[in-house]
Amino acid sequence: MGLRPATGTVRIDGRDVTGASPRDRLRAGIAFIPEDRQEDGIVADFSVADNLVLDTFDRPPLAAGIAMNRSAIRDRAASLVAEFDVRTSSIDTAVGTLSGGNQQKVILAREVGRRVRLLIASQPTRGLDVGSIEFVHRRIVAERDAGVAVIIVSSELDEIYALSDRIAVMYEGKITGFRPPSVPVTELGLLMAGAQAEAAAAAGAGTGGAEAAGVADTATDTAGTAADTAAAATDIAANAADTADTAEESR
């Protein structure tokens, strides 16, 4: 997925992954929670277990050569389901039959269940029930506490205030400013509105780990299409990843 910067580089722990394939980026330690979970996050017809190993199915111990190790996959799925409190009747249930909250927990479990250095979460709680939102937020903060750089792209101001260490605001694809989470909402609103009242608004938030600086931002182009938003958001995520890296270097 995504991460196609127009200029500059994307580096993870100093390693350049600018032109890397999605697989290499995942292997480099990027975890990504996509905005459109039905389309990009899950394979609805696949079981919970298969969805939990969608990006690790071909690595030991889940596979030896090209032979999948079904019992290892089931063990891993069972432990992730328990750890992330996925409410499912069994790990063989088709993930499409679960509630949105539980689908999101499956994605979260898959993404941060392995060793990651950077978590990019796009609209991580959109459309979820209160319990699931709470769970997802707790897990994201836990990742931050564990030293993972986190970028959250969100259109929910409450979410941004609740989770961010730094807030970057985007307007028409351009970052209009960085603010601490103590920023009054009116100021954020002005930044989001840019100069024109009817223009697209954008807001985002991020949590920076104790070690790695997290930057955050986002774009929600209310006038544009969903695809436009996704494109803009990914662009910025790349930008932010870069910034995070730079911040780390300058530290």
Closest approach of other proteins to the CB of residue 91, in Å:
16
Q: Is 66 or 184 the residue whose CB approaches other proteins more closely?
A: 66
Closest approach of other proteins to the CB of residue 145, in Å:
25
Closest approach of other proteins to the CB of residue 37, in Å:
7
Q: Is 68 or 183 the residue whose CB approaches other proteins more closely?
A: 68
Interatomic CA distance for residues 41 and 34, integer angstroms: 6
Note the residues at the interface with other proteins (CB under 8 A).
Answer: 1, 5-9, 21-27, 32, 34, 36-46, 50, 54-55, 57-58, 63, 66-68, 70, 99-101, 104, 126-129, 132-133, 170, 172-175, 221, 224-228, 231-232, 235-236, 239, 242-243, 246
Q: Which two tokens stand for residue 18?
A: 């600018």
| 3-class DSSP state of 127 | coil
Closest approach of other proteins to the CB of residue 8, in Å:
3
Q: Is 188 or 241 the residue whose CB approaches other proteins more closely?
A: 241
Interatomic CA distance for residues 84 and 107, integer angstroms: 10
Strand ranges (E), the chain: 11-12, 15-16, 30-33, 63-64, 67-68, 118-122, 149-153, 167-171, 174-179, 205-207
Interatomic CA distance for residues 89 and 68, integer angstroms: 24
